[in-house]
Amino acid sequence: MSRYWSAVVHGLTPYVPGEQPKIANLVKLNTNEHPYGPSPLALAAIQAAADDGLRLYPDPNADALKAALAQRFGLAPQQVFVGNGSDEVLAHAFMALLRHEQPLWRPDVGYSFYPVYCGLYGLQQRAIALADDFSIRPADYLPQGGQQAGAIVFANPNAPTGRLLGLDEVERIVAGNPQAVVLVDEAYIDFGGTSAAALLGRYPNLLVVQTFSKSRSLAGLRVGFALGSAELIEGLERVKNSFNSYPLGRLALAGALASVQDEAHFQRSCQQVMDTRAALVAELEALGFAVLPSAANFVFARHPQHDAAQLAADLRARAVLVRHFRAPRIEQFLRITVGSPEQCAALLQALRGLV
Protein backbone atom coordinates (compact mmCIF):
# COMPACT_ATOMS: atom_id res chain seq x y z
CA MET A 1 0.00 0.00 0.00
CA SER A 2 1.19 3.53 -0.71
CA ARG A 3 -0.05 6.96 0.24
CA TYR A 4 0.56 7.98 -3.37
CA TRP A 5 -1.97 5.54 -4.77
CA SER A 6 -5.37 6.82 -5.84
CA ALA A 7 -8.51 5.69 -4.04
CA VAL A 8 -9.36 3.51 -7.04
CA VAL A 9 -6.04 1.65 -6.85
CA HIS A 10 -6.41 1.13 -3.10
CA GLY A 11 -9.73 -0.61 -3.70
CA LEU A 12 -8.67 -2.88 -6.56
CA THR A 13 -8.34 -6.64 -6.39
CA PRO A 14 -6.29 -7.31 -9.55
CA TYR A 15 -6.68 -10.26 -11.87
CA VAL A 16 -4.15 -13.03 -11.23
CA PRO A 17 -2.85 -14.53 -14.51
CA GLY A 18 -1.87 -18.15 -14.82
CA GLU A 19 1.63 -18.96 -13.68
CA GLN A 20 4.36 -18.69 -16.33
CA PRO A 21 7.21 -20.51 -14.55
CA LYS A 22 10.75 -20.84 -15.84
CA ILE A 23 11.14 -24.56 -15.15
CA ALA A 24 12.83 -26.90 -17.61
CA ASN A 25 10.86 -29.82 -19.08
CA LEU A 26 7.60 -28.62 -17.55
CA VAL A 27 4.29 -30.01 -18.80
CA LYS A 28 2.41 -26.71 -18.86
CA LEU A 29 -1.36 -27.22 -18.83
CA ASN A 30 -2.46 -24.20 -16.78
CA THR A 31 -3.04 -21.29 -19.20
CA ASN A 32 -4.97 -22.81 -22.12
CA GLU A 33 -2.25 -22.20 -24.67
CA HIS A 34 -2.58 -24.08 -27.95
CA PRO A 35 -0.37 -27.20 -28.03
CA TYR A 36 0.41 -26.76 -31.72
CA GLY A 37 2.19 -23.87 -33.42
CA PRO A 38 0.70 -20.95 -35.34
CA SER A 39 0.05 -21.03 -39.05
CA PRO A 40 3.30 -21.23 -41.02
CA LEU A 41 1.91 -18.37 -43.11
CA ALA A 42 1.62 -16.27 -39.97
CA LEU A 43 5.19 -17.00 -38.93
CA ALA A 44 6.46 -16.12 -42.41
CA ALA A 45 4.49 -12.86 -42.41
CA ILE A 46 5.88 -11.89 -39.01
CA GLN A 47 9.42 -12.57 -40.18
CA ALA A 48 8.85 -10.57 -43.37
CA ALA A 49 7.49 -7.63 -41.36
CA ALA A 50 10.59 -7.53 -39.15
CA ASP A 51 12.38 -5.09 -41.40
CA ASP A 52 13.25 -1.41 -41.62
CA GLY A 53 9.55 -0.60 -41.58
CA LEU A 54 9.54 -1.09 -37.80
CA ARG A 55 10.82 2.48 -37.50
CA LEU A 56 7.36 3.60 -38.63
CA TYR A 57 4.14 3.54 -36.64
CA PRO A 58 1.70 0.76 -37.54
CA ASP A 59 -1.70 1.38 -39.13
CA PRO A 60 -3.77 2.81 -36.25
CA ASN A 61 -6.98 1.55 -37.84
CA ALA A 62 -5.73 -1.96 -38.76
CA ASP A 63 -7.67 -1.67 -42.00
CA ALA A 64 -6.32 -4.81 -43.69
CA LEU A 65 -6.99 -7.01 -40.65
CA LYS A 66 -10.47 -5.56 -40.16
CA ALA A 67 -11.29 -6.18 -43.82
CA ALA A 68 -10.16 -9.82 -43.58
CA LEU A 69 -12.18 -10.44 -40.41
CA ALA A 70 -15.21 -8.69 -41.90
CA GLN A 71 -15.04 -10.94 -44.95
CA ARG A 72 -14.70 -14.06 -42.83
CA PHE A 73 -17.80 -13.23 -40.75
CA GLY A 74 -19.88 -11.65 -43.52
CA LEU A 75 -19.78 -8.17 -42.01
CA ALA A 76 -18.74 -4.65 -43.00
CA PRO A 77 -15.31 -3.44 -41.83
CA GLN A 78 -17.12 -0.83 -39.73
CA GLN A 79 -18.46 -3.73 -37.65
CA VAL A 80 -14.99 -4.92 -36.59
CA PHE A 81 -12.78 -3.63 -33.77
CA VAL A 82 -9.29 -4.90 -32.95
CA GLY A 83 -7.17 -4.50 -29.84
CA ASN A 84 -4.15 -5.72 -27.89
CA GLY A 85 -5.57 -9.09 -26.93
CA SER A 86 -9.21 -9.72 -26.07
CA ASP A 87 -8.54 -8.50 -22.52
CA GLU A 88 -7.96 -4.98 -23.85
CA VAL A 89 -11.02 -5.28 -26.09
CA LEU A 90 -13.07 -6.32 -23.05
CA ALA A 91 -11.64 -3.45 -21.00
CA HIS A 92 -12.69 -0.93 -23.64
CA ALA A 93 -16.14 -2.54 -23.87
CA PHE A 94 -16.67 -2.27 -20.11
CA MET A 95 -15.92 1.44 -20.29
CA ALA A 96 -17.67 2.23 -23.58
CA LEU A 97 -20.72 -0.02 -23.54
CA LEU A 98 -21.32 -1.76 -20.20
CA ARG A 99 -21.11 1.12 -17.71
CA HIS A 100 -24.66 2.24 -16.93
CA GLU A 101 -26.85 3.14 -13.96
CA GLN A 102 -28.39 -0.31 -13.80
CA PRO A 103 -26.05 -3.14 -12.69
CA LEU A 104 -24.06 -5.32 -15.03
CA TRP A 105 -25.26 -8.93 -14.89
CA ARG A 106 -22.66 -11.72 -15.10
CA PRO A 107 -22.35 -15.36 -13.99
CA ASP A 108 -21.12 -15.96 -10.45
CA VAL A 109 -18.60 -18.44 -11.90
CA GLY A 110 -17.03 -16.96 -15.00
CA TYR A 111 -13.94 -15.25 -16.34
CA SER A 112 -12.39 -13.68 -13.26
CA PHE A 113 -11.42 -10.50 -15.10
CA TYR A 114 -15.09 -9.37 -15.22
CA PRO A 115 -15.33 -8.33 -11.55
CA VAL A 116 -11.87 -6.75 -11.84
CA TYR A 117 -13.08 -4.49 -14.65
CA CYS A 118 -16.17 -3.64 -12.60
CA GLY A 119 -13.93 -2.52 -9.77
CA LEU A 120 -11.61 -0.57 -12.05
CA TYR A 121 -14.41 1.35 -13.77
CA GLY A 122 -16.82 1.59 -10.84
CA LEU A 123 -19.58 -0.56 -12.33
CA GLN A 124 -22.37 -1.94 -10.20
CA GLN A 125 -22.64 -5.68 -10.76
CA ARG A 126 -24.95 -8.56 -10.05
CA ALA A 127 -23.52 -12.08 -9.96
CA ILE A 128 -26.11 -14.60 -11.18
CA ALA A 129 -25.62 -18.13 -9.89
CA LEU A 130 -24.95 -20.90 -12.35
CA ALA A 131 -27.17 -23.97 -12.11
CA ASP A 132 -26.04 -26.87 -9.97
CA ASP A 133 -24.51 -28.47 -13.07
CA PHE A 134 -22.57 -25.22 -13.68
CA SER A 135 -24.58 -24.27 -16.76
CA ILE A 136 -25.87 -20.78 -17.56
CA ARG A 137 -29.67 -20.61 -17.43
CA PRO A 138 -30.90 -18.09 -20.05
CA ALA A 139 -34.11 -17.41 -18.10
CA ASP A 140 -32.03 -15.97 -15.26
CA TYR A 141 -30.82 -13.20 -17.59
CA LEU A 142 -34.24 -11.98 -18.70
CA PRO A 143 -35.93 -8.94 -17.10
CA GLN A 144 -37.98 -10.06 -14.13
CA GLY A 145 -39.90 -8.47 -11.29
CA GLY A 146 -39.29 -4.97 -12.56
CA GLN A 147 -35.53 -5.56 -12.64
CA GLN A 148 -33.51 -5.44 -15.82
CA ALA A 149 -29.83 -5.44 -16.62
CA GLY A 150 -27.84 -2.36 -17.50
CA ALA A 151 -25.61 -4.73 -19.49
CA ILE A 152 -24.81 -8.45 -19.61
CA VAL A 153 -21.50 -10.25 -20.08
CA PHE A 154 -20.70 -13.96 -20.15
CA ALA A 155 -18.16 -16.24 -21.76
CA ASN A 156 -19.32 -18.92 -24.17
CA PRO A 157 -17.99 -21.53 -23.69
CA ASN A 158 -17.84 -20.37 -20.12
CA ALA A 159 -14.54 -20.07 -18.30
CA PRO A 160 -13.37 -21.87 -16.27
CA THR A 161 -16.14 -24.48 -16.64
CA GLY A 162 -15.94 -25.03 -20.41
CA ARG A 163 -19.72 -25.43 -20.68
CA LEU A 164 -21.37 -24.23 -23.88
CA LEU A 165 -24.63 -22.39 -24.50
CA GLY A 166 -26.31 -23.25 -27.78
CA LEU A 167 -26.87 -20.45 -30.27
CA ASP A 168 -30.62 -20.51 -29.61
CA GLU A 169 -29.99 -20.01 -25.89
CA VAL A 170 -27.62 -17.11 -26.55
CA GLU A 171 -30.24 -15.56 -28.82
CA ARG A 172 -32.85 -15.85 -26.09
CA ILE A 173 -30.70 -13.70 -23.79
CA VAL A 174 -29.89 -11.14 -26.51
CA ALA A 175 -33.46 -10.87 -27.78
CA GLY A 176 -34.84 -10.62 -24.26
CA ASN A 177 -32.70 -7.61 -23.38
CA PRO A 178 -33.08 -5.03 -26.16
CA GLN A 179 -32.35 -2.27 -23.63
CA ALA A 180 -28.87 -3.60 -22.83
CA VAL A 181 -25.65 -4.52 -24.57
CA VAL A 182 -25.05 -8.26 -24.33
CA LEU A 183 -21.35 -9.08 -24.62
CA VAL A 184 -20.58 -12.70 -25.52
CA ASP A 185 -16.94 -13.49 -24.84
CA GLU A 186 -16.00 -16.24 -27.29
CA ALA A 187 -12.34 -16.90 -26.49
CA TYR A 188 -12.92 -20.67 -26.87
CA ILE A 189 -15.79 -20.85 -29.37
CA ASP A 190 -13.71 -22.45 -32.13
CA PHE A 191 -13.26 -25.68 -30.15
CA GLY A 192 -16.84 -26.89 -30.52
CA GLY A 193 -19.37 -24.06 -30.56
CA THR A 194 -21.19 -21.81 -33.04
CA SER A 195 -20.33 -18.13 -32.86
CA ALA A 196 -23.03 -15.64 -31.95
CA ALA A 197 -21.67 -13.54 -34.81
CA ALA A 198 -24.38 -15.29 -36.83
CA LEU A 199 -26.94 -13.20 -34.90
CA LEU A 200 -25.41 -9.78 -35.53
CA GLY A 201 -27.66 -8.95 -38.47
CA ARG A 202 -30.72 -9.08 -36.20
CA TYR A 203 -29.53 -7.61 -32.89
CA PRO A 204 -27.85 -4.20 -32.63
CA ASN A 205 -27.27 -4.77 -28.89
CA LEU A 206 -24.98 -7.78 -29.38
CA LEU A 207 -21.18 -7.57 -29.12
CA VAL A 208 -19.07 -10.67 -29.82
CA VAL A 209 -15.45 -10.72 -28.61
CA GLN A 210 -12.86 -13.22 -29.81
CA THR A 211 -9.10 -13.69 -29.62
CA PHE A 212 -6.17 -14.99 -31.65
CA SER A 213 -4.59 -16.37 -28.46
CA LYS A 214 -6.37 -19.72 -28.29
CA SER A 215 -7.58 -21.33 -31.51
CA ARG A 216 -5.05 -19.47 -33.67
CA SER A 217 -2.11 -20.26 -31.37
CA LEU A 218 -0.93 -16.63 -31.20
CA ALA A 219 -1.11 -15.89 -27.48
CA GLY A 220 2.34 -14.28 -27.65
CA LEU A 221 1.22 -11.82 -30.32
CA ARG A 222 -1.67 -10.27 -28.31
CA VAL A 223 -4.48 -9.76 -30.82
CA GLY A 224 -8.18 -9.66 -30.01
CA PHE A 225 -11.24 -8.36 -31.80
CA ALA A 226 -14.91 -7.48 -31.40
CA LEU A 227 -17.80 -7.82 -33.84
CA GLY A 228 -21.00 -5.81 -33.54
CA SER A 229 -23.18 -3.10 -34.98
CA ALA A 230 -21.41 -0.03 -36.35
CA GLU A 231 -22.68 2.06 -33.43
CA LEU A 232 -21.22 -0.31 -30.83
CA ILE A 233 -17.90 -0.47 -32.67
CA GLU A 234 -17.78 3.33 -32.88
CA GLY A 235 -18.10 3.45 -29.09
CA LEU A 236 -15.12 1.13 -28.75
CA GLU A 237 -13.09 3.20 -31.21
CA ARG A 238 -13.79 6.37 -29.22
CA VAL A 239 -12.40 4.78 -26.05
CA LYS A 240 -9.44 3.20 -27.86
CA ASN A 241 -8.44 6.51 -29.45
CA SER A 242 -8.68 8.19 -26.05
CA PHE A 243 -6.31 5.57 -24.62
CA ASN A 244 -3.87 4.23 -27.24
CA SER A 245 -4.20 4.86 -30.97
CA TYR A 246 -1.67 2.13 -31.84
CA PRO A 247 -2.65 -1.00 -29.87
CA LEU A 248 -1.27 -3.45 -32.46
CA GLY A 249 2.29 -3.34 -33.76
CA ARG A 250 3.37 -4.12 -37.29
CA LEU A 251 4.35 -7.71 -36.45
CA ALA A 252 1.02 -8.40 -34.76
CA LEU A 253 -0.95 -6.99 -37.67
CA ALA A 254 1.03 -9.02 -40.20
CA GLY A 255 0.81 -12.28 -38.26
CA ALA A 256 -2.88 -11.96 -37.48
CA LEU A 257 -3.79 -11.15 -41.10
CA ALA A 258 -1.88 -14.16 -42.41
CA SER A 259 -3.49 -16.39 -39.79
CA VAL A 260 -6.97 -15.40 -40.96
CA GLN A 261 -5.95 -16.27 -44.50
CA ASP A 262 -4.82 -19.80 -43.57
CA GLU A 263 -8.19 -21.45 -43.01
CA ALA A 264 -6.90 -24.98 -43.57
CA HIS A 265 -4.33 -24.79 -40.76
CA PHE A 266 -6.91 -23.20 -38.47
CA GLN A 267 -9.52 -25.92 -39.02
CA ARG A 268 -6.98 -28.75 -38.79
CA SER A 269 -5.40 -27.60 -35.52
CA CYS A 270 -8.77 -26.97 -33.87
CA GLN A 271 -9.89 -30.49 -34.78
CA GLN A 272 -6.70 -31.94 -33.33
CA VAL A 273 -7.46 -30.27 -30.00
CA MET A 274 -11.04 -31.52 -30.01
CA ASP A 275 -9.94 -35.07 -30.75
CA THR A 276 -7.37 -34.98 -27.94
CA ARG A 277 -9.96 -33.50 -25.58
CA ALA A 278 -12.31 -36.44 -26.10
CA ALA A 279 -9.53 -38.91 -25.35
CA LEU A 280 -8.41 -36.96 -22.28
CA VAL A 281 -11.93 -36.85 -20.84
CA ALA A 282 -12.30 -40.62 -21.24
CA GLU A 283 -8.99 -41.24 -19.46
CA LEU A 284 -9.81 -38.84 -16.60
CA GLU A 285 -13.19 -40.46 -16.08
CA ALA A 286 -11.51 -43.87 -15.98
CA LEU A 287 -9.39 -42.53 -13.11
CA GLY A 288 -12.54 -41.55 -11.20
CA PHE A 289 -12.72 -37.85 -12.11
CA ALA A 290 -16.01 -36.10 -12.73
CA VAL A 291 -15.51 -33.94 -15.83
CA LEU A 292 -17.89 -31.19 -16.92
CA PRO A 293 -18.93 -31.18 -20.60
CA SER A 294 -16.42 -28.96 -22.40
CA ALA A 295 -16.44 -27.14 -25.73
CA ALA A 296 -13.15 -25.38 -24.93
CA ASN A 297 -9.47 -26.31 -25.16
CA PHE A 298 -9.52 -27.27 -21.49
CA VAL A 299 -11.51 -29.50 -19.17
CA PHE A 300 -12.83 -28.79 -15.69
CA ALA A 301 -12.57 -31.84 -13.46
CA ARG A 302 -12.74 -32.92 -9.84
CA HIS A 303 -12.00 -36.17 -8.03
CA PRO A 304 -14.48 -37.03 -5.25
CA GLN A 305 -11.76 -38.58 -3.08
CA HIS A 306 -8.92 -36.10 -3.51
CA ASP A 307 -8.55 -32.41 -2.61
CA ALA A 308 -8.01 -30.33 -5.75
CA ALA A 309 -5.46 -27.97 -4.21
CA GLN A 310 -3.39 -30.91 -3.01
CA LEU A 311 -3.61 -32.60 -6.40
CA ALA A 312 -2.43 -29.41 -8.11
CA ALA A 313 0.51 -29.16 -5.70
CA ASP A 314 1.41 -32.82 -6.13
CA LEU A 315 1.26 -32.51 -9.91
CA ARG A 316 3.49 -29.46 -9.81
CA ALA A 317 6.02 -31.44 -7.79
CA ARG A 318 6.01 -33.86 -10.72
CA ALA A 319 6.59 -31.01 -13.23
CA VAL A 320 2.95 -30.94 -14.42
CA LEU A 321 1.19 -27.61 -14.09
CA VAL A 322 -2.62 -27.26 -14.00
CA ARG A 323 -4.82 -24.39 -12.77
CA HIS A 324 -6.58 -24.40 -9.39
CA PHE A 325 -8.92 -21.61 -8.31
CA ARG A 326 -9.46 -20.86 -4.62
CA ALA A 327 -12.97 -19.57 -5.23
CA PRO A 328 -16.45 -20.45 -3.95
CA ARG A 329 -18.16 -23.40 -5.65
CA ILE A 330 -15.13 -24.42 -7.71
CA GLU A 331 -12.38 -24.92 -5.14
CA GLN A 332 -12.48 -28.71 -5.70
CA PHE A 333 -12.00 -28.48 -9.46
CA LEU A 334 -8.89 -28.42 -11.61
CA ARG A 335 -8.82 -26.65 -14.96
CA ILE A 336 -6.63 -28.68 -17.28
CA THR A 337 -5.53 -27.42 -20.68
CA VAL A 338 -5.87 -29.91 -23.52
CA GLY A 339 -2.24 -30.26 -24.51
CA SER A 340 -0.60 -32.44 -27.10
CA PRO A 341 -1.13 -36.22 -26.81
CA GLU A 342 2.33 -36.46 -25.26
CA GLN A 343 1.56 -33.78 -22.67
CA CYS A 344 -1.75 -35.42 -21.80
CA ALA A 345 -0.01 -38.78 -21.43
CA ALA A 346 2.46 -37.23 -18.97
CA LEU A 347 -0.43 -35.71 -17.00
CA LEU A 348 -2.28 -39.02 -16.85
CA GLN A 349 0.83 -40.91 -15.81
CA ALA A 350 1.35 -38.49 -12.93
CA LEU A 351 -2.31 -38.73 -11.91
CA ARG A 352 -2.21 -42.52 -11.85
CA GLY A 353 0.46 -42.28 -9.21
CA LEU A 354 -1.69 -39.90 -7.16
CA VAL A 355 -5.26 -41.18 -7.35
Tens of pLDDT, residue by residue over 217-231, are 999 999 999 999 999
Alpha-helical regions (H) of 61-208:
63-73, 85-96, 113-121, 167-175
Question: Distance between CA 315 and CA 346 in Å, rounded?
Answer: 10
pLDDT at 106 over 90: yes
pLDDT value for 146: 86
Nearest CA to 343 out of 40, 39, 34, 38 is that of 34
Spatial contact of 91 and 117, defined as CB atoms under 8 Å apart: yes
Please give the helix or strand (H or E) that residue 332 lies within, else none. none
**Percent of the chain predicted with pLDDT > 90:** 92
- On the CB side of 299, how many CA atoms lie within 13 Å of its CA? 25
11 vs 326, residue with greater confidence: 326
Mean pLDDT of the chain: 96
Average the pLDDT over each of 16-25, 126-135, 139-148, 285-294 and give the range with the smallest value. 16-25
pLDDT of 240-256, one tens digit each? 999 999 999 999 999 99
